[in-house]
Amino acid sequence: MFLEESLPPSSRQLQQHLFCLLQSRCKSIKHLAQIHAHITTNGFSNKNFLLVKLLSLYTSFNNFPTAQQMFDQMPSPSSALWNQIIRGYQINGNPRRSVEVFNIMERGSPSPPDEHTYTFLVNGCAKGGLLGEGMQVHGKVLKSGFSSNVYVQSSLVDFYVKNGGGRDGVANAKKVFDEMPERSVVTWNSLLLGSFRCGDVDGARAIFEVMPGRNVVSWTTMISGCTQNGRSKEALILFRQMQHENVEFDQVTLVGVLSACAELGDLHLGKWIHSYVFEHFTFSKKPVLVTLKNSLIHMYASCGEIDAAYAVFKGMEKKTAVSWTSMITGFAKHGYGNEALSVFQWMQSVSSRDVKPDEITFLGVLCACSHAGYVNEGRRYFKAMVEDWGIKPRIEHFGCMVDLLSRAGLLDEAHEVVRSMPMKPNDVVWGALLGGCRVHKSVELASDVTELMMSDGVRPERAAGYFVLLSNVYAAAKKWEDVVAVRRRMLEGKTRKPPGRSWIQVEGSIYEFVAGDRSHEMACLIYDVLDDITREARFHGYIPFCVDEI
């Protein structure tokens, strides 16, 4: 038996022995119950240090009701015991009750709140999204004299970052941060994350540059933050700098780097990461995060290596909804409609409570139907999404249906979908319909759609592109006067189509090109090659469809 050993003879020794058992030997709820019984039978139920540890362990072993029952039987709980109950409600997902218990403590207990009380409370408010309650607790912190406590201040910084409402929250976090007598790397990282969450990449970079001690979390936050805010090139530069400074990266870091590789098409670095993962984890049978494998699928699919993406996918023992969705979307974007739908059918055959198609999955499925021209399948899946899976279509799903029908030449049906949408069509939905008009040379509908879009308040940066589409419809129908009228309207409205951008990787370096740009030192050679490609395409029957943009 767990306690069948010689117990110390004296009361003090027995108390210390039981505490040591609680601290180092208690590995299960059964062991805890045995120790609890010895504490009770030996008359130690009034020993605060034993009771605090008991409550803490009951909470950790997910048996909070017993902890609450014990607490209710205590005539005059100490601050440490109140703290364990407050912490217990926070851990068990009821932070609002933590605040209620604190209010009871404040009103009726002779034991005053301490720094641990406020730390547990603020952490609970951060976890539960309780902005108002958290701000009230902050006010009580200021009145109680704990505003200079480093643990309380660190919790407040984290609270405002997570629940402060964007830039205002970060500003409040910064105020607390500036008043701190000492700051840990954890607090620095919280402020860093907060800057990214409100889109202040430059502010995050400024914080990162002055951090006194940057750890792997700091670097990972910077890499992931840059990637998520459209600065993938910066993210890869940071990763190389991280390697140069010999900072050991982890799997979470690699997830952020792979996202940047996917955005920029950096297949070379993506393959290096895959090799690294195989050598350091897979080959040595160490567990690899599912999110890292999902990132590999996304990276390969984004870089055009769809077979490599599928190989990673098939090799996964455990697949999440993100895994299935990434593979379906990858196939769909590359025009492999049959493969995308086959993976979706496979997903349905193995779907469980934890792995079910969601709205993003169906977006990939509808995209696959659109690219493959599967009209009937698209209609069926759109209907099943609503009726069988209870997923409310978003505007993106309607956009896919409009695109599917427009590509198939079913312009009247596509127009009817737009008219029947429960939300206001955006410029992407109108653009899909207009694109169908261009392909199928429906001049009248294209004119009507364009006028509807403009009266509907289409975004200025999109308007020029749709004017160009309309002029292409007129040009295909040889309505040259209408082409001129559209172009004149663009000139009068000073509307210009933003130049297209593209990236290409050559020998490990990524180059960015802008349409019409001749600033590259090898521009003459590049345009000569493009001319050769165009001539070869014309020889094989290609006819340029688009009218040159202004």
pLDDT band at 47 (very low <50, low <70, confident <90, very high): confident
Judge whether residue 8 has pLDDT over 70.
Answer: no
Q: Which residues of 87-109 are buried (b: 16+ CB within 10 A; e: fewer)?
A: bbbbbbebbebbbebbeebeeee
Judge whether residue 469 has pLDDT over 50.
Answer: yes
Residue range 313-322: mean pLDDT, rounded? 93
Token pair for residue 512? 């960015």
pLDDT band at 550 (very low <50, low <70, confident <90, very high): very low
| CB 61, CB 32: distance < 8 Å | yes
**Whole-number CA gyration radius for the chain:** 31
What percent of the chain clears pLDDT 70, i.e. is strictly above it? Answer: 87
Give the pLDDT of residue 539. 77
pLDDT band at 1 (very low <50, low <70, confident <90, very high): very low
Distance CA(193)–CA(187), nearest Å, equals 10
pTM over 0.85? The answer is no
The residue with greater pLDDT, 434 or 193, is 193
pLDDT band at 488 (very low <50, low <70, confident <90, very high): confident
Give the pLDDT of residue 250. 93
Token pair for residue 291? 């999110």
Residue range 62-78: mean pLDDT, rounded? 88
Distance CA(493)–CA(369), nearest Å, equals 38
For residue 502, give the nearest of 515, 492, 519 by alpha carbon.
515
Q: How far, CA to CA in Å, does 211 sit from each of 183, 189, 239?
A: 10, 9, 17
Judge whether residue 527 has pLDDT over 70.
Answer: yes
Token pair for residue 401? 């249906």
Distance CA(236)–CA(257), nearest Å, equals 7
Judge whether residue 402 has pLDDT over 80.
Answer: yes
Judge whether residue 470 has pLDDT over 50.
Answer: yes
Give the pLDDT of residue 471. 76
Judge whether residue 398 has pLDDT over 90.
Answer: yes
Give the pLDDT of residue 102. 93
Estimate to the nearest angstrom the gap between the alpha carbon of 392 and the chain centroid.
21
| CB 305, CB 312: distance < 8 Å | no
pLDDT band at 433 (very low <50, low <70, confident <90, very high): confident
The CB density around residue 127, as the number of other CB atoms within 10 Å, is: 17
pLDDT band at 67 (very low <50, low <70, confident <90, very high): confident
The residue with greater pLDDT, 441 or 418, is 418
Q: What is the tens place of the pLDDT at every residue in 260-306? A: 999 998 999 999 999 999 888 876 778 899 999 999 999 999 999 99
Judge whether residue 509 has pLDDT over 70.
Answer: no
Give the pLDDT of residue 549. 41
Q: Which residues of 341-365 are buried (b: 16+ CB within 10 A; e: fewer)?
A: bebbeebeeeeeeebebeebbbbbb
Helix (H) or strand (E) holding 511: strand 509-514
Judge whether residue 333 has pLDDT over 80.
Answer: yes
Q: What is the tens place of the pLDDT at every residue in 148-196? A: 888 999 999 999 988 866 678 888 899 999 888 888 898 999 999 999 9
Give the pLDDT of residue 515. 65
Q: At what angle do helices 337-350 and 359-372 cross, to 10 degrees?
A: 150
pLDDT band at 309 (very low <50, low <70, confident <90, very high): very high
Name every residue whose Cβ is closer than 8 Å to that of residue 324 and which is 6 or more positions away in sequence: 343, 344, 347, 355, 357, 361
Give the pLDDT of residue 506. 65
Give the pLDDT of residue 441. 76
The CB density around residue 401, as the number of other CB atoms within 10 Å, is: 25
In terms of phi and psi (left: phi > 0; alpha: psi -120 to 50; beta: otherwise), the region of 303 is alpha
Judge whether residue 62 has pLDDT over 90.
Answer: no
The CB density around residue 411, as the number of other CB atoms within 10 Å, is: 20
Give the pLDDT of residue 293. 96
**Least confident window among 221-225, 459-463, 526-530:** 459-463
Helix (H) or strand (E) holding 174: helix 167-178
The CB density around residue 381, as the number of other CB atoms within 10 Å, is: 23
pLDDT band at 147 (very low <50, low <70, confident <90, very high): confident
